[in-house]
Structure 1
Amino acid sequence: MNNIITFEDFTKVDLRIGTIIEVNDFPKARQPAYQLLIDFGELGIRKSSAQITTLYSKQDLLQKQIVAVVNFPKKQIATFMSECLVLGAVQGKDVVLLNPENRVKNGSTVS
């Protein structure tokens, strides 16, 4: 287990549900990755880079709902500005995306 945080620390993390509406290859990334465009409803559309090419094709990802952190500062990744962090479970070199069991409204909070 990593560092222990308080409940107050946890409440600072804004986790939201979004739907992937566009997926593009990201050849300039150091590790194989996709560039994602994600619809978070009232929060708007945000970009993210994700190293998920081993388990997911671009077609698999379209319209898939995911969980993401939306209140990190923007991060420059090669020539791309990532605006949120898509969450997944790491299994070796693979990442399995976290997603709701049932379809929910884009922008829904995760608690």
Structure 2
Amino acid sequence: MDTITFENFIKVDLRIGTIISVDDFPEARNPAYQLTIDFGDLGVKKSSAQITTLYNKEDLLNRQIVAVVNFPNKQIANFMSECLVLGAVNGKDVTLLCPENKIKNGSVIS
């Protein structure tokens, strides 16, 4: 495992956001959803997330998540992903990282 410095770690901007819409993403190479996420003062960002094995669209709506918001945009098929939603990977299953309590959208993870 590679190690990083604390200075490198603090460059990663981790924030809390609330999923405000979930759409199917049939053009994706692997099964995925297109998420629209409200990050409060940072605004609304979109993300592609391969989380279809454990979550249905109704369960995701209004769920708070943790995401990296300062990566460059990434083109995925015909969709521009603007942030990276974080989850723990177990085979093909991804379990979202979520706050235990309701947190203000845009709150910083440190």
Q: TM-score, normalised by structure 1?
A: 0.98
Matched, 1:45 2:44: yes
Instruction: Find the counterpart in structure 1 of residue 106 from structure 2.
Output: 107
> Aligned partners of 1:3, 1:63: CA distance in 2, in Å?
36
Quote the sequence identity (%).
76
Superposition map of 1:1-111 within 5 A: 2-111=1-110
Secondary structure, counterpart of 1:38 in structure 2: strand
**Counterpart code for 2:101:** N
Secondary structure, counterpart of 1:47 in structure 2: strand
Give the unaligned 5+ runs of structure 2.
none
Which stretches of structure 1, 4 residues or longer, exceed 2 Å deviation after superposition?
none
**Counterpart code for 1:96:** T
Q: TM-score, normalised by structure 2?
A: 0.99
> Aligned partners of 1:62, 1:85: CA distance in 2, in Å?
17
> Aligned partners of 2:65, 2:2: CA distance in 1, in Å?
26
Q: Please report how far the alpha carbon of residue 32 of structure 1 lies from its aligned counterpart in structure 2 after TM superposition.
A: 0.3
Q: Please report how far the alpha carbon of residue 26 of structure 1 lies from its aligned counterpart in structure 2 after TM superposition.
A: 0.1
Give the unaligned 5+ runs of structure 1.
none
Q: Please report how far the alpha carbon of residue 92 of structure 1 lies from its aligned counterpart in structure 2 after TM superposition.
A: 1.1
